[in-house]
Structure formats: structure tokens, C-alpha cells
Amino acid sequence: MTTSEKLLTGNEAAAWGAARAGAEVVAAYPITPQTTIIETLASLVHRGISKAEYIAVESEHSAMAACIAAAHTGARAFTATSSQGLALMHELMHWAAAARLPVVLANVNRAMAPGWSIWTDQNDSLSQRDTGWIQIYCVDNQEVVDSVIQAFALAARTSLPVMVVLDAFVLSHTAEAVHIPEEEEVRPLIPEWNAPWKIDIDRPAALGSLVPPAEYEKMRKKLCDAHAQAALVIEDLAATWRKRFGRGAGLIESYRAEGAETILVTSATIASTARVVIDELRDKGVPAGLVRVRVFRPFPVAALRGALAGAKRVVVLDRNCSYGASGIFYQELRAALCGVPGAPVVHGYIAGMGGRDVTPLTVRAALGRAMEGEAPVPESTWLSE
């Protein structure tokens, strides 16, 4: 640990990221396992480390409404939630994106009830897939603090809201050594947001009023196009981070995937467990590699096609399920590879729902079954079965 490193949980890292990025309005409502994010921010505000206006709202729905409203003034707005709280925000998730507002949200992945679960899976954040938010899935606590800071820059540069996602407990309540960038290092990277739809008392206008169909469709196409732009900004910010801090991934992260016949595709903390398994396999001479999807929206189609070109088979390990279809990253990846000449065979496996442990054993099982020739099924295979 260097002198500029602190021992931080993922939640503390998220809070420090928001403070270092200069969050000006924080809307806070508690939910396990997110609560320590807003507790840490309350403490940072109380100690004067953050100058944010802290609004202790009465629900997550109001938390997102307050962030939307604050963002409309040009203020950098931040909130954090999880699971049921994110679901309650859903109406306003659409609103924030369609209003093209640079809101930043940290979501701690937690399984949806019932039955009650406070442990991790991705169905809460992935249920917000079609709202227009950028989604960044973190692998460790360093990436949490970096992604939250980058999220403010990304949001301001694209007029898109950004969700930074971290696994319940595996990251949220587990401490690691984390380097917290200084304010003066990161503030210049976050531009002022000055879109024409900012509230301007000298130029009164209605924001969000009734639009005829043709105008509406035009606005939605612009929202979709902004995601293509966001992909470039994400890579640009990653390059800046690598240059400035010597770390950090962009849209995806490849690990020993060069020349691999079998590539595991997964996200979030499962990827760090998978690295161990890939190392074992490589040591045995098995040509296996890993590609971690860090950014789920915009979905990195071109980057994944490039990273997976030449592989014989791809194994997608999902900690989520679109019931009646399959694992969600599996669906998305198959769609991304559809029509690509010589595309690899894609296998889909589901594990770790409701916080069920995903150990090296789990990852080995998924890779082993695919490499032993198990036929892929469109519905994904549940590894526990």
C-alpha cells in the first residue's frame, strides 16, 4: 500500500469517487447493501471534505427525481441504490436518460425479492437495460472509485446518465487497498455540462413538454446515437487513466485471450475469480482466455467481435437470467456475433443467482462442460442442475 492508498470497501470507494469528482447534489436513501455509500457521503459532507448539498429523501423514487432536477441546473448529481430501490426508480431511469441529463448512480447489485435476498446478482441493474443509461460493471474496488470519477466526466461529455455497478458484499463490504486520485488530478477531466436544456433563468423555456411523434422519434434516435459516441469517450477516458495512473480497462478487458481457443466471457467480480482458473488452464497448456465485459451499455459489439475473433468457442457465464429466454450477456453476445463469418460457437451458463458463491470450481465447471463438447442450448444451462 503506498501512502496515497487507503483500505476501502467498494461502497466507501464509490462515495470517495463521488466526492473527488465534485458531486454537488447527493440524494440519499438507505437500502442494504448500498447504505454505507450514502453514510460515507454524509460523513464526507459533515466533515467538509465534500461540499455537496445532501438531501435525505423519503424514497429511491424521490432520490432519482431530485438528481434529475438538480442535474437540470447543471449541478453534478449523484445517488446510490440497490435492487428494490433501483426498481422503484425505474420510471425515472427512463426520464433521466430521455431528458439527456448527466446523473451518476452507483448501484450495488442485489437480487430482487421475493424471497428476500440481500446478496448479489445482476437482475436489478439489467432490468434497467433499455432505459438509455450507460452501465459499467466493476471488477474490484479500485475500478469502483475510478469508474465513479470517470462516470461524471462521461456523463458531462455525452449528456447521458451513468450507472456504476458493484457486486453486493463481494465488493460493497470487502476492503481492498485503493488509490484515491486527488481532486486536482481529476476535476480538470470533468467538463462543465452546458447543454441548451439546462435551466436558464434568463432564457426561460419548457423542458420535457409534449412532443409530436416525429420530434419524439428524432429525440430517441439521438439518445441511441449518443451511446455510440459514449463508447469512444469511454475508451478515451480509459486511455487517460492508463497514462495518468497506469491502470484501468475500457469497454472490455482481455486476459490471456491471445491465441485462445476457448474464451470465457463474464462480468464483474466473477472475472477476478476466472483469472485464477485461466492461469491454471494456461499452466496446463490449455489455450483458454478471458474477456470481461466492463461496459454493458453501450454494448461493445465491435470490441467483442475483435477480441473473440479466432476463438473456437466462447463460454458466457451469467449471474442473471431473462426468464423465458436465457442469461442476458449470453443473449447479447450471440446477437453481437450473429452473421460474423467464422464466429465461434457460444455456450451460455448461469450461476451465482441470489449471491450463491461463484468459486473457481464453478468457473472450471462451465469451461469444462463446454470444452468437453456439451451442445450449447439457447436457454443457457444452469450450472447447479
Q: Return the residue of 114, 184, 194, 206 that touches other proteins, per CB under 8 A.
A: 206
Q: Is 211 in the site for other proteins (CB under 8 A)?
A: yes
Place of cell 448500498: 34
Q: CA 73 to CA 82: how far, in whole Å?
A: 26
Q: Is 53 in the site for other proteins (CB under 8 A)?
A: yes
- Residue 41 is which amino acid? L
Instruction: Establish how many alpha carbons lie within 13 A of residue 89's alpha carbon, considering only the half-sphere containing its beta carbon.
Output: 37
Q: Is 95 in the site for other proteins (CB under 8 A)?
A: yes
331 CB-contact burial (10 Å; exposed 0-12 / middle 13-18 / buried 19+): middle
Nearest approach, Cβ of residue 32 and other proteins (Å): 21
Residues 264-283 that bind other proteins (CB under 8 A): none
Nearest approach, Cβ of residue 200 and other proteins (Å): 7
Q: Is 43 in the site for other proteins (CB under 8 A)?
A: no
Q: Is 42 in the site for other proteins (CB under 8 A)?
A: no
Q: Is 62 in the site for other proteins (CB under 8 A)?
A: yes
Residue 65 vs 186, nearer CB to other proteins:
65
Residue 116 vs 197, nearer CB to other proteins:
197
Q: Is 208 in the site for other proteins (CB under 8 A)?
A: yes
Calculate the dihedral angle through the C-alpha atoms of 246, 252, 256, 262, rounding to the nearest 10 degrees: 180
Q: CA 137 to CA 157: how far, in whole Å?
A: 20
Residue 211 vs 276, nearer CB to other proteins:
211
Phi-psi region of 285 (alpha: psi -120 to 50; beta: other; left: phi over 0): left
Q: Return the residue of 55, 108, 149, 288 that touches other proteins, per CB under 8 A.
A: 55
Q: Return the residue of 2, 184, 201, 323 that touches other proteins, per CB under 8 A.
A: 201
Q: Return the residue of 70, 290, 315, 316 that touches other proteins, per CB under 8 A.
A: 70
Count of beta carbons in the 10 Å neighbourhood of residue 19: 23
Q: Return the residue of 30, 74, 287, 310 that touches other proteins, per CB under 8 A.
A: 74
Q: Which residues pair with 253 in a beta bridge?
A: 292
Place of cell 438531501: 55
Cis peptide before 212 (omega within 30 of 0): no
Q: Is 257 in the site for other proteins (CB under 8 A)?
A: no
Q: How far is CA 326 from CA 119, 165, 264, 329, in A?
A: 21, 21, 17, 9
Q: CA 248 to CA 239: how far, in whole Å?
A: 8
Q: Is 25 in the site for other proteins (CB under 8 A)?
A: yes
Q: Is 21 in the site for other proteins (CB under 8 A)?
A: no
Residues 346-385 that bind other proteins (CB under 8 A): none
Q: Is 212 in the site for other proteins (CB under 8 A)?
A: yes
Q: Residue 105: in which H helix or E strand, if any?
A: strand 104-109
Q: Return the residue of 188, 209, 324, 342 that touches other proteins, per CB under 8 A.
A: 209
Q: Is 195 in the site for other proteins (CB under 8 A)?
A: no
Q: CA 6 to CA 273: how far, in whole Å?
A: 23
Q: Segment near other proteins (CB under 8 A), from 68-76, 109-117, 122-130, 291-299? A: 68-76
Count of beta carbons in the 10 Å neighbourhood of residue 196: 7
Nearest approach, Cβ of residue 62 and other proteins (Å): 4
Q: Residue 92: in which H helix or E strand, if any?
A: helix 90-98
Write the DSSP symbol of residue 140.
S
Q: Is 155 in the site for other proteins (CB under 8 A)?
A: no
Distance of CA 320 to the CA centre of its chain: 14
Q: Is 134 in the site for other proteins (CB under 8 A)?
A: no
Q: Is 190 in the site for other proteins (CB under 8 A)?
A: no
Q: Is 200 in the site for other proteins (CB under 8 A)?
A: yes
Judge whether 152 and 191 are in contact, CB under 8 Å. Answer: no
Q: Segment near other proteins (CB under 8 A), from 183-191, 197-205, 230-238, 255-263? A: 197-205
Residue 116 CB partners (closer than 8 Å, separation 6+): none
Residue 211 vs 325, nearer CB to other proteins:
211
Q: Is 214 in the site for other proteins (CB under 8 A)?
A: no
Residue ranges binding other proteins (CB under 8 A): 24-25, 27, 51-53, 55-59, 61-62, 65-75, 77, 91-92, 95, 199-201, 204-212, 215
